[in-house]
Amino acid sequence: MRLSPLLTTITALLFSVVLLTTVWLWLRPSGQILRMADFGLDTLSPNADGINDVTKISYQLQRPARVSIYLIDERGIRFQLRSEQPRSAGKHQLLFSGIVKGFTLEKEEFEGDILARVLPNGTFTWIIEARIDSQHEEITGVLSVIDADNRLPEMRGFSVSPQLFTPNRDGISDRVWVNLFLTKTAQVSVNLIDNEGNNRPIAERAGDIRPNDPGLHTFEYEGGVDLGVNPPPDGVYKVIAFAEDAIGQKTRVENQLTIENGGVPRADIVNAEVQFSNTTIVQGEQLSFSLTVENYGAAPIRTSGPDPGYIYAQHENANSHGWYEESGAWRVGIDCDTCIRDYPWRWALGTRNELTKIGEHWYLMPGQRATVRGDITITDIPSRNPLYFWAGLIHEDVEVSNINNRVDPHFITIVPKK
């Protein structure tokens, strides 16, 4: 007797369901998730003495699951080691040195954040838990912790100074000092971190206390400008210090740093050209000059000194009128073969109308040019005559670069006054 098409279809579907169910029952793993779990030691003494500092944790999964490992002390406080970490079926092992996620004790005050900390001395129930959706299984045991080195590597008095950093070699806030007092031996690193999480390490300054030893540590940062490298872009940054001791306890402190007007200062005398008023000067008359300075860098350039147009007597210099050298300031100078010091006659890179005031100081801004003029009254006839006069662009207490030193010498004769 032939079966109807509908009956044939139903029979085929039932057969498929039975077959698939049989195959699944045959191939599926046992319903158990967590087959075994164990802490290798019953007693742990995490103090970096080489004796029972570390124990091996082992567990086996019948099926892939999310695994949590934690400990509970006698007061019911939970200390987390792993939380809902996906793991494949099979055997798994990890080493445990007593370090768990950071925590603070009751009434404890701590400067900064505790990222990882050793368990306190005591008796703990350990739990290894495996979870698949709503189904979960756990295996427990007991662990005693003794002689733990629970002194944290604390970094006290963490400071960043100045907090407004202008790395442009102008002598104003060109360096940052980071200070901290380390309470125990630990590896310490200090980093400048931007909004995208990029790290720039800050080096420790050499001192009487060796790196990583307890005591006061100072870290110094100049943004790379001293090496001719552009500093980090202007903006607000985090300064974060991390400390980690021998057993793996980790702490962190954080502060803030703002960078403004950063950049490698770059300027020159345009076309390396200086115009002098004459090649012959009569004693008692003035030798005049004119040149143009350009700031072709990305950083503002600080300047100081008498304004362009200021008149010096031959025997005078900038110090004679209170325009002393200032670390980081730029000035135009005139020098000669018989001058008793380098560039005795100096002028600012522009007038107040041309310069920009930032704070209490005056700057030639990026991309800006200024014409500098000045006069020197020649009162004496030097033993060497005629002689060369030339110009320079001076970055005081920093350098006179090759391109800005002895610029456009002119051979000038000084004749007696009739």
Q: State the pLDDT at residue 107.
A: 86
Q: State the pLDDT at residue 25.
A: 39
Cα separation values, 166 from 39, 193, 260, 264, Å: 55, 17, 5, 11
> pLDDT digits over 19-31, tens only?
554 444 334 445 7
> pLDDT digits over 148-205, tens only?
999 999 999 999 999 999 999 999 999 999 999 999 999 999 999 999 999 999 999 9
Residue 147 has pLDDT above 80, yes or no: yes
pLDDT band at 13 (very low <50, low <70, confident <90, very high): low
Q: What is the mean pLDDT of residues 241-258?
A: 98
| Rg of the chain (C-alpha set) | 38
Q: What is the mean pLDDT of the chain?
A: 93
* C-beta neighbour count of 208 within 10 angstroms: 7
d(CA 383, CA 386): 9
For residue 236 the two structure tokens come to 């607000």
Q: Are 143 and 44 in contact (CB under 8 A)?
A: yes
The DSSP output letter for 89 is S
pLDDT band at 105 (very low <50, low <70, confident <90, very high): confident
Q: State the pLDDT at residue 15.
A: 57
d(CA 117, CA 123): 16
Residue 418 has pLDDT above 60, yes or no: yes
Domains and CATH numbers, the chain: 34-145 (2.60.40.10), 155-259 (2.60.40.2550), 267-415 (2.60.40.10)
Residue type, 178: V
Q: State the pLDDT at residue 229.
A: 93
Q: State the pLDDT at residue 4.
A: 61
pLDDT band at 334 (very low <50, low <70, confident <90, very high): very high
Q: State the pLDDT at residue 19.
A: 53
Return the biggest CA–CA distance within the chain: 148
Q: Determine what percent of the chain is predicted with pLDDT higher than 90.
A: 89
Closest to 193 measured CA to CA, from 257, 267, 146: 257
* C-beta neighbour count of 349 within 10 angstroms: 30
Q: Determine what percent of the chain is predicted with pLDDT higher than 70.
A: 93
Q: State the pLDDT at residue 341.
A: 92
Residue 73 has pLDDT above 50, yes or no: yes
> pLDDT digits over 204-233, tens only?
999 899 999 999 999 999 999 999 899 999
Q: Is 398 helix (H, G, I), strand (E, B) or coil?
A: coil
Written in H, E and C, the secondary structure of the chain is CCCCHHHHHHHHHHHHHHHHHHHHHHHCCCCCCEEEEEECCCEECCCCCCCCCCEEEEEEECCCEEEEEEEECCCCCEEEEEEEEEECCEEEEEEECCEEECCCCCCCCCCCEEEEEECCCEEEEEEEEEEECCEEEEEEEEEEECCCCCCCCCEEEEEEECCEECCCCCCCCCCEEEEEEECCCCEEEEEEECCCCCEEEEEECCCCCCCCCCEEEEEEECCCHHHCCCCCCCEEEEEEEEEECCCCCEEEEEEEEEECCCCCCCEEEHHHCCEECCCEEECCCEEEEEEEEEECCCCCEEECCCCCCCEEECCCCHHHHCCCCCCCCEEEEEEECCCCCCCCEEECCCCCCCCEEECCEEEECCCCEEEEEEEEECCCCCCCCCEEEEEEEEECCCECCHHHCCEEEEEEEEECCC
Residue type, 87: R
> pLDDT digits over 293-326, tens only?
999 999 999 999 999 999 999 999 999 999 999 9
Q: State the pLDDT at residue 10.
A: 60
Residue 346 has pLDDT above 70, yes or no: yes
Residue 127 has pLDDT above 60, yes or no: yes
> pLDDT digits over 365-376, tens only?
999 999 999 999
For residue 191 the two structure tokens come to 């980093």
For residue 353 the two structure tokens come to 């109308």
Q: State the pLDDT at residue 2.
A: 52
d(CA 379, CA 334): 16
Regarding predicted confidence, which is higher, 68 or 11? 68
For residue 357 the two structure tokens come to 């005031």
Q: State the pLDDT at residue 303.
A: 98
Q: State the pLDDT at residue 207.
A: 87
